């Protein structure tokens, strides 16, 4: 089992990410503390990896490895109850997404197609 510790800047606030790899090729489980909402979050999702190439202001090529959510996705409330579940197709929500309260009650259901909420 491998643990990774990262720091990032989001909307002016810092949060810490501790990642535990559950399957080196297909999925990750992320635990992080969001300092903006002051909550611990747990996400589980499958991903694919791609190299993306960018150019900096001087025209130099920069390459980076990008993790793209692809497959089943679940997120949990701090109390361990399911917060939402759904499916990603190349980082776009697709299919049925369900959202739950902290007590586990279904709050809403949404239908998505290639990243667009169906009306």
| The model's pTM | 0.67
- Of residues 62 and 6, more confidence is placed in 62
Give the residue ranges of DSSP H helices in the chain. none
Boundaries of domain holding 91: 3-117
- Of residues 46 and 112, more confidence is placed in 112
Q: What percent of the chain shows pLDDT beyond 70?
A: 66
Exposed / middle / buried, residue 93 (Cβ in 10 Å: 0-12, 13-18, 19+): buried
pLDDT 10s digits, 19-75: 444 455 556 666 666 667 666 677 788 878 888 888 889 989 888 888 888 889 998
Q: For the chain, how many structural domains are there in total?
A: 1
């Amino acid at each position: 089992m491998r643990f990774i510790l990262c720091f990032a800047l989001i909307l002016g606030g810092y949060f810490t990410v501790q990642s535990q790899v559950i399957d080196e090729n297909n999925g990750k489980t992320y635990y992080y503390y969001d300092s903006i909402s002051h909550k611990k979050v747990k996400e589980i999702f499958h991903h694919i990896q791609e190299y993306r190439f960018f150019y900096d202001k001087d025209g130099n090529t920069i390459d980076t490895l990008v993790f793209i959510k692809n497959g089943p996705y679940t997120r949990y409330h701090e109390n361990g109850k399911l917060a939402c579940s759904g499916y990603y197709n190349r980082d776009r929500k697709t299919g049925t997404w369900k959202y739950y309260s902290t007590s586990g009650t279904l709050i809403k259901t949404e239908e998505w197609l290639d990243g667009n909420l169906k009306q």
